[in-house]
Amino acid sequence: MRYFALHLLLWLSFPLTAETITVGLLVTPYQREAYETIFREFTRETGTKIRVIPRSDTDYKEDLPGWLAGNRTPDVLYWQGSNRLFQFVAKGQIHALDDLWKEEKLDEKLSHVKNVVEYEGSVYGIPYSYYHWGLYYNRSLINPIGGPAATWQELLQQCKILKTKHVHCVALGAKHYWPSAGWFDYLNLRLNGLDFHLKLLDGSTTFADPRVLNVLEHLKHLTDNQYFTPEISQLDWNEVLPLVFRAQAGYTLIGNFAVNSIPEQIKSEIGFAPFPKIHFGQEYEEAPVDIFMIPEISKNKGPAKDFMLFISRADTQTRLNKALGYLPPHRDSQAGEDNFLREGFKLLSNTLGVSQYFDRDTNPAFEKQAVKIITEFLEDGDLKKAVDRLDISRRKSFSL
């Protein structure tokens, strides 16, 4: 805690206005009290008050660039890891936190999520919350045929069995395209690893690479054998969930936010499993990470860093995420009582690293086109057309 004590001494030399910091927060109404409770705890510990600047999702994303450019800039900002953070880091708009990270030995507790806040060797944010992705399945369908598939070959075998029973293997609703990207992400992570996946999504690798073709071939196998529900672009992700509840589909690949859509009386009938292994040693997971960061032009960096220290702690992350219904990334923290959260916590605590989901790991222009192309590929199975379109979009979106 030497870092905290040092900044407390520095803070004493600040003017009285430094006793309040402003925090920009993307928040829904039901989340507000969870954050307010944690912010009051920070005030009790440090004496520093927090003035929250709350915004909805759309409004926050519209205001953030202006804040970072100097328009009434908050001292601390909520944001999301990976490319969404790095686009502002590259412009010199985010303050580096290497001193805090090293002093608090956060490599020991947050190493599995460090990649989402590290840019060119420096750290620019504190991960404080995330949620897991994986396969949610109907126990009555899957348990009698061996339980949740641990490997890709086991999944394919189960799909074959379910098809003979006139049951869909995988429910996929991609009316808004993005759910299809989860299948691409996970197969790329399992086949090629996290480093290659991130290089592909930052535009530096062609989609004509044989490793990408291998990913698409795996997807094509599912499509060619009709293992997905039909007309995937006609329904949204939440509209196909009831197919799993009603034993009309075995699996769906989705984030844990979907649990809120499972009726309480049937939650015990739904299980969770990690995405199947293909190459052992490639156990990377999809886990969008929320972070706090400090704008470079913040005038209250001392107390702002005290807040970052506070939010990096295991006890703080435990309390906040239990209230939010998400997971704390700190390895010494604890998950909530919900079984799905406990399964997710165990999964992510042992992973080698995490990706952020397709949209957060690439630029918006490419994501908008790519998720549509992937969805159409899952419908028509035309591999050459998909590769050509993805690579044309990559070159255009990244100005290559």
In order along its 400 residues, the chain shows pLDDT tens digits of 444 444 444 444 444 444 899 999 999 888 999 999 999 999 999 999 999 999 999 999 999 999 999 889 999 999 999 999 999 999 999 999 999 999 999 999 999 999 999 999 999 999 999 999 999 999 999 999 999 999 999 999 999 999 999 999 999 999 999 999 999 999 999 999 999 999 999 999 999 999 999 999 999 999 999 999 999 999 999 999 999 999 999 999 999 999 989 999 999 999 999 999 998 777 899 999 999 999 999 999 999 999 999 999 999 999 999 999 999 999 999 998 899 999 999 999 889 899 999 999 999 999 999 999 999 999 999 999 999 999 999 999 999 8
Question: Does residue 158 contact residue 250 with C-beta atoms inside 8 Å?
Answer: yes
CATH superfamily of 133-286+363-397: Periplasmic binding protein-like II (3.40.190.10)
**CATH number for region 2-129+288-354:** 3.40.190.10
- CA 32 and chain centroid, separation: 21
Same fold, 2-129+288-354 and 133-286+363-397: yes
For 22-48, letters b (16+ CB in 10 Å) and e give: bbbbbbeeebeebbeebbeebeeebeb
Residue 239 is predicted with a pLDDT of: 95
Residues 6+ apart with CB under 8 A from 205: 196, 199, 212
Q: Report the distance separating Cα 231 and Cα 255, nearest Å.
A: 21
Residue 118 is predicted with a pLDDT of: 97
Q: Report the distance separating Cα 168 and Cα 133, nearest Å.
A: 20
Regarding pTM above 0.85, the answer is: yes
Residue 7 is predicted with a pLDDT of: 46
- Maximum CA extent, the chain: 74
- Amino acid identity of residue 81, one-letter, is G
- Amino acid identity of residue 47, one-letter, is G
Q: What are the structural domain ranges in the chain?
A: 2-129+288-354, 133-286+363-397
Nearest to 116 by CA among 88, 92, 91, 84: 84
Q: pLDDT of 61-120, one tens digit each?
A: 999 999 999 889 999 999 999 999 999 999 999 999 999 999 999 999 999 999 999 999
Residue 301 is predicted with a pLDDT of: 95
- Cα angle 82-85-88, degrees, rounded to a multiple of 5: 140
Question: Does residue 211 contact residue 196 with C-beta atoms inside 8 Å?
Answer: yes
Question: Does residue 20 contact residue 50 with C-beta atoms inside 8 Å?
Answer: yes
Q: Report the distance separating Cα 170 and Cα 136, nearest Å.
A: 10
Pairing of strands 76-80, 20-26: parallel
